[in-house]
Structure 1
């Protein structure tokens, strides 16, 4: 469900709506909006607090139906936790839980006063943007290959207004655009690999470009890439019946002579591991191995929808990594587009092999101001950082600082890992310029070291999103990260 967002200027006790949303802290302290509702309803909320039916635990929800003295049909009371420790992350959480509760009620719209809650260090525009994005995230449903459940049985929650002044309009506009990018990324990554293959991603990119005046799209097939010398990328795709594509979207929102920023995203639409076959359990999740591609495409969509005054390119190398009689093998030596040779020690370390050619091509073709790549690159990063933070690597301290700050602002956080030359020796090879893996230790970092060899002279950073791009398990879905981080980084560039 795509939510429609707006701003509202009304009093919570008199607004005409199927539901108003207010907050209560753990100690029974009511927010100003909850206090107004409570006063109009002759203490209805405080009585529930005193009885223990409303405990204020962060994310808990309670519905009061048709309370006397209140115009709204329902009041959704959301627990905010401790007021002393209330912060940005908690604010995001309570808005997610509020939207989930609203989605379970038989109503089409609601008005929320949660964006009126004080969050230390955050203004009204940030609060509305974050609340809207959290709500849209919670409202997302995957339906592409699923029959509707109980269609037409009850109204579907479709629109949410936030009580805020005109100063929050910028945040709301940004939220609408970023939410579209996040949904684009989530939908693409959630699709099964028999639908979402390299050609499908290329078609989606082309359709987006055709629908937007300032956007162009270039797609290279395997024949064109062979002529150009994409030896590393093409080797990875040799074992699949679904042929590789290199997809490049270009947005011209800035001056004609202004160099673009560049995103590059790993687009392995299914990763069986190739000859170095992965274990069977959990292999279905390898449809998410194009999460980097989905993320940078979503970031691109967000930038276009916001109409940011800059130039941006988004490059996606897309392949399937499958075992076959023509698959590349451990022991093979590949010649990359850069001319550097690579000894393959493990065919399941394929993401870096397609990214290296894409990074070289992006730098040569566009001479960008900065290159950010995103990839579900290493299990080692999941072990190091879990599902909470993306791994960030860069030799450029200023660029790393920009991305870390963007992640904090967008609540799409990253953590910087070292990219010291000390680690480069782990890639030494007797038979090529270097190998594609560096051994068991520091796997996420040596993957970054590998990519750094293809970015000489470039202002470049790498995001390993293997832990953050999707939620594990049979019901796990794509998260849409790092769309919000990338969008915020671009917003910051326009404000600088």
Structure 2
């Protein structure tokens, strides 16, 4: 599906998507739909509420022509996310009607600038058009081929084109992440994940270095290797680098993604239902790979290093066991109480590596880490644990721009006591209570007081059903918020609304 900024007549396309606010005055409504809108509003069939849709059709010489009225809610409540969600719904209706091309009429807003409007429309429609059908023998091709955005003021067209270019890069990076998460584990093992990271690096413009088992052991990544050794498929340490600010080489943002390409739970084995979607346990890795792709392609003025400790958590005679005491790259010892709390064991070595070897000055780790975060926040919000409130405020700004919701969880010292062991420095679970918090704080023990954010995307990285612009399966959660976190650090937006 291609997007263009071009002023065409309604008659030159199969359909027109016409946006309307609840509080639109009559003079702001174009004559081509005014009579329809008046009648619908009087009949109570269309109010202009956010995401509301109504379409009409008329016969023309060579077929039919559709007009889709799209509600955007109240003007003062408009946000980028409102736009994304509304236009995602419109795209699904366009596909249902089997239209080949549509016009999207631009609207005015004092709340959301032209760049963010264009980006949100594109992201909503492109991401809603995604479907993972790689392994279907009969694929259903989407009917929609072209989308034209019309009605942009002449003085805004350069900004709009720039925004469209950025949106294309960002949506493409999200789709790369979705593709990785959706791949079954028999096709995407640690070796294949490393290969794909290299290919994405070549395409988008960042460096990728891959370390194999011998090097991982040489580095002393004991905790990572304990998780990995139960599988017949060897682990990989994937290191991605992008240096866009050579003048400030000491300022490096470290991104660390959980890379469990499959998690059986180990000897603390999961039930079958819990294992079916465990190909998605590398959602954090997919997020940082996608973020690196977008950051590099947009040539942001920032230095970023991303690290993924990729492995499988399996059962064998070599696998680690509940009751074991293991070491870590940082030298701290850990009492293993549950082998299904494995992600944090791989992450601590990856975080330590990012700080010690790659000299990261700030760290963000992203992981499908705990079922507890779903209990606390459901599927809509990513839980966050941090040691730095200023850093969290930067994440909140990125959340506002990306539409990815976050919520800060407490990190009081009382919670840290729950992961102290009597026979080792730490234990890998803190008990039933506060599971998301103690899992995050376990990783926090290895950040060396660097500004740090832990994002638990266990609830947001996977969707059991199709929702607006989220397809069923991998969602690509984390890509856009990490991109905007990096962008906000690298420069001030020319449009902050």
TM (normalized to structure 2)? 0.90
Structure 1 counterpart SS, 2:476: coil
- Alpha-carbon separation, structure 2, partners of 1:266 and 1:486: 15
Matched with 1:346 is 338
- Alpha-carbon separation, structure 1, partners of 2:235 and 2:357: 19
- Alpha-carbon separation, structure 2, partners of 1:158 and 1:199: 36
Matched with 1:416 is 408
Whether 1:244 and 2:235 are equivalent positions in the alignment is yes
Alignment CA distance shift 1:125-1:211 (3 Å): closer
- Alpha-carbon separation, structure 2, partners of 1:478 and 1:278: 20
Q: Describe how 1:421-460 pairs up with structure 2 within 5 A.
A: 421-460=413-452
Matched with 2:219 is 228
- Alpha-carbon separation, structure 2, partners of 1:29 and 1:135: 27
Matched with 2:246 is 255
C-alpha displacement of 1:274: 0.5
Matched with 2:111 is 121
C-alpha displacement of 1:23: 2.3
Whether 1:297 and 2:284 are equivalent positions in the alignment is no
Matched with 2:145 is 158
Structure 1 counterpart SS, 2:311: strand
Q: Which sits farther off after the overlay, 98-107 or 443-452? A: 98-107
Matched with 1:368 is 360
- Alpha-carbon separation, structure 2, partners of 1:425 and 1:31: 64
Residue deviations 1:266-322 (CA, integer Å, cap 9, x gap): 011111110001122242111111111111111111112212122221111111111
Structure 2 counterpart SS, 1:161: strand
Q: Describe how 1:88-107 pairs up with structure 2 within 5 A.
A: 88-107=80-99
Contact in 2 for aligned 1:116/1:124 (Cα 8 Å): no
Structure 1: where are the runs of 5+ without partners? none
C-alpha displacement of 1:31: 8.9
> Which 4+ runs in 1 deviate beyond 6 A?
27-31
> Which of 27, 36, 55 is equivalent to 2:31?
36
Structure 2 counterpart SS, 1:128: helix
Question: What is the Cα-based RMSD across aligned positions, in Å?
Answer: 2.5
C-alpha displacement of 1:92: 2.4
Alignment CA distance shift 1:452-1:20 (3 Å): same
Alignment CA distance shift 1:124-1:67 (3 Å): farther
Which of structures 1 and 2 has the larger relative contact order (alpha carbons within 8 angstroms, sep 6+)?
2
Matched with 2:476 is 480
C-alpha displacement of 1:59: 2.5
Contact in 2 for aligned 1:389/1:412 (Cα 8 Å): yes
C-alpha displacement of 1:174: 1.7
- Alpha-carbon separation, structure 1, partners of 2:327 and 2:274: 32
Matched with 1:145 is 135
Residue deviations 1:372-407 (CA, integer Å, cap 9, x gap): 110011111111111111111111111111001110
Whether 1:21 and 2:13 are equivalent positions in the alignment is no
Whether 1:130 and 2:113 are equivalent positions in the alignment is no
TM (normalized to structure 1)? 0.90
> Which of 77, 80, 84 is equivalent to 2:69?
77
Contact in 1 for aligned 2:76/2:111 (Cα 8 Å): no
- Alpha-carbon separation, structure 2, partners of 1:349 and 1:38: 57
Structure 2: where are the runs of 5+ without partners? 493-497
Residue deviations 1:319-370 (CA, integer Å, cap 9, x gap): 1111222111001111100111111000000010000000011111121231
- Alpha-carbon separation, structure 2, partners of 1:278 and 1:390: 23
C-alpha displacement of 1:108: 2.8
C-alpha displacement of 1:150: 4.9
Residue deviations 1:112-144 (CA, integer Å, cap 9, x gap): 12x4253x6321111111111111110101122
- Alpha-carbon separation, structure 1, partners of 2:27 and 2:100: 25
May I ask how many residue pairs the two structures share in their alignment? 481
Alignment CA distance shift 1:432-1:470 (3 Å): same
Contact in 1 for aligned 2:75/2:111 (Cα 8 Å): no
Alignment CA distance shift 1:116-1:82 (3 Å): closer
Alignment CA distance shift 1:31-1:318 (3 Å): farther
C-alpha displacement of 1:62: 3.0
- Alpha-carbon separation, structure 2, partners of 1:291 and 1:298: 10
Contact in 1 for aligned 2:169/2:294 (Cα 8 Å): yes
- Alpha-carbon separation, structure 1, partners of 2:336 and 2:111: 49
Structure 1 counterpart SS, 2:272: coil
